[in-house]
Structure 1
Amino acid sequence: MTHEEYFAALAEPRRGELRALHALIRESAPDLAPTMEFGLPGYGRYHYRYASGREGDAATVSLAGRKNHISLYVSCLAGDRYLPELFADRLTGASVGKSCVRFKHLSDVDIGVLGELLRAAAETPPAGAV
């Protein structure tokens, strides 16, 4: 499946919002090449290996168009904290977990702050990357 096939399978307005978020990611982090990982549109493929010995491939940034919200996953660590945690206070209108930013509509969040988060992701190593 490609990014476009993933987006095309979504109903509006989610389809348009994810396409706009895709464009923001491509503009803000052009060095993170598009990929599909775990059935989700991703950007910046990397290989990880955990101390447990588990390893695999994942995307630095991923998108998911859920029924009730959009999820933006950012797997990068700055020190001992995931990047979304560092931007949480500036992402009003979103629910921010360790590595996930969730919002109902793209218009609910500050696009400028999302762009900053994405630029930081392009410059920060993902968790567990080898």
Structure 2
Amino acid sequence: MVYAGTMIGYGPYHDKYASGREGDCPIVALSSRAQYISLYVAGSRNGKPIAEAAKAKLGKVSVGKACIRFKRLADLDVPAARAGSRFGAARQW
């Protein structure tokens, strides 16, 4: 699916926030930006967002709560990112 016209994503799930706001989000999404590529992974492992939990294994990347940013695919440890993405898809946050 395409989200916001700039992102391709897989596995929509419906989420409801504590504020009462709700909406559909992808479990895994990819977006190309001017300076980098962003991989978004929804979900948590042991109470920590998957991207943050896997940060040390992902290679030459910048990590936010659910976002993994890299300049070139060669900078990303693809098997580690794939493992985290599969965990997120299986758990659906």
Q: Which residue identity is paired with 1:46?
A: Y
TM-score w.r.t. length of structure 2? 0.90
TM-score w.r.t. length of structure 1? 0.66
CA contact 1:71–1:101 (8 Å) conserved in 2: yes
Higher strand share: 2
In 1, the alpha carbon distance for the partners of 2:40 and 2:10 equals 10
For these two proteins, the number of residue pairs brought into alignment is: 92
In 2, the alpha carbon distance for the partners of 1:51 and 1:117 equals 25
Partner residue, 1:86: 53
> What is the SS of the residue equivalent to 1:114?
helix
Structure 2 unpaired stretches of 5+: none
In 2, the alpha carbon distance for the partners of 1:110 and 1:79 equals 22
Of 17, 20, 31, which aligns to 1:50?
17
CA-to-aligned-CA distance 1:78-126 (integer Å, 9 cap, x gap):
2321101111011120011111000000011111111111211121222
Of 62, 74, 86, which aligns to 1:119?
86
Partner residue, 1:41: 8
> What is the SS of the residue equivalent to 2:54?
helix
In 2, the alpha carbon distance for the partners of 1:79 and 1:48 equals 19
Superposition misfits of 4+ residues, deviation over 3 angstroms: none
Larger-Rg structure: 1
